[in-house]
Amino acid sequence: MQDWSQLGAIAWPLLIALALGLLVRRGLLALAARARTRAATHLRARVAQVVAVPAAVALPLLFLSLAVTATPLPPEWIGRIQHWLGIGGLLCLTWLAVRAVGAVERRILREHPVDVADNLQARRVQTQTAVISRVIQGAIILVGVALALMTFPAIRQIGATLLASAGIIGLVAGIAARPVFGNLIAGLQIALTQPIRLDDVVIVDGEWGRVEEITSAYVVVRIWDERRLVVPLTWFIENPFQNWTRTSAQLLGTAFLWLDYRTPMAEVRAELQRLCGQDSRWDGRVCVAQVTETAETTIQVRLLVSARDSGSLFDLRCAVREGMIDFLAAHHPQALPRLRAVVHEPDAGTPPSRRASATETDSPGAEQSREADATAPPPAQPS
């Protein structure tokens, strides 16, 4: 009878704690689901969404901790259970801190959208926010796990032993963790100095693309043909690369044409101005036609135009090139390059056989040497 009464004294607090924990958990998850639908417009809903999910795990653990204290279990059992429940509560706090940092990041990104015409400031803010948020979240997780592990006496003893030989261990750890800390420091450098930002147009290893994502370890560049180029953060610190949108998205571009010397450049300039004026991709800054090179048979004409971004510039260059070719073919066909050849007729007094040998096989001066051979005396015969 005493065993049943002791078992009941242990079971009832635990059952009550479990029941309360399940009720609280269900209520908090329902609150989080409701807050998710209103998070876009209400600050309270966003705060509730961040707090409710970790609290749905932490509060049942708290109820269990109080219930275990009220049970007549042996003190060493209570100590072990409280230890593990305390680790769970510490991890829940770490989880809550990570979610809070993520919520702040999402709010900053929401207040600085990049889908606008002039998004330079927004891309700068988004890049700093994304990189710094990843670094802070990683540091929070590292500290939380370290504190949880340090609650074990054996691990504390190992830590004291490692500190006694900190020189060798520090050297080995530094060598092993060099890539990790290198990317971490590179991420902070990119966040502060911003050689690249989200949605920047860059040329990396000869590939044209846009910066799609910046993590704590690498950068994802979306290539124009939908491929993804994954580049370590340290690469952007240690290697030169092209950033077409560092200060502005506006760019200059060229279209080269090889034309005949009889090309009327005044009309080419007038036609280029007309083509740019009727194209909405031209930003109105630069529209110039110049002869930049001459060769034996053609001249090189450079059509220099400007646009508001790289995508518009590429399409504008193609349109200008095609329009100029059509204009010249329709109105000035003599301006298109052609090959000229001048055929010299042979002398009428030269025999055909002589003409063939002279033009096909002989080198200059061969006629004079042949005539000299014909008038020379024959060689002496040996006696």
In the numeric block, the tokens 């795990």 are attached to 57
Q: Among 38-42, 64-68, 114-118, 344-348, which range has the highest average pLDDT? A: 64-68
Structural domains for the chain = 2-111 (no CATH), 140-248 (2.30.30.60), 251-335 (3.30.70.100)
Q: Is the pLDDT of residue 17 over 60?
A: yes
Residue 291 has pLDDT above 90, yes or no: yes
Contact of 303 with 324, CB cutoff 8 Å: yes
Residues 84-95 have pLDDT tens digits of 888 888 899 999
Identify whether the C-beta of residue 44 lies closer than 8 Å to the C-beta of residue 61. no
| Arithmetic mean of pLDDT, 206-223 | 87
CB 215 within 8 A of CB 208: no
Angstrom CA distances, 66 to 149, 151, 205, stand at: 23, 20, 61
Tell me: the pLDDT tens digits for 124-164?
788 778 878 888 888 888 888 878 877 777 666 655 554 45
Write the DSSP string, 336-376. Answer: S------PPPPPTTS-HHHHHHHHHTPPTTHHHHHHHHHHS
- The answer to whether 265 and 291 have CB atoms below 8 angstroms apart is yes
The more confidently predicted of residues 28 and 372 is: 28
**Whether 358 contacts 367, CB under 8 Å:** yes
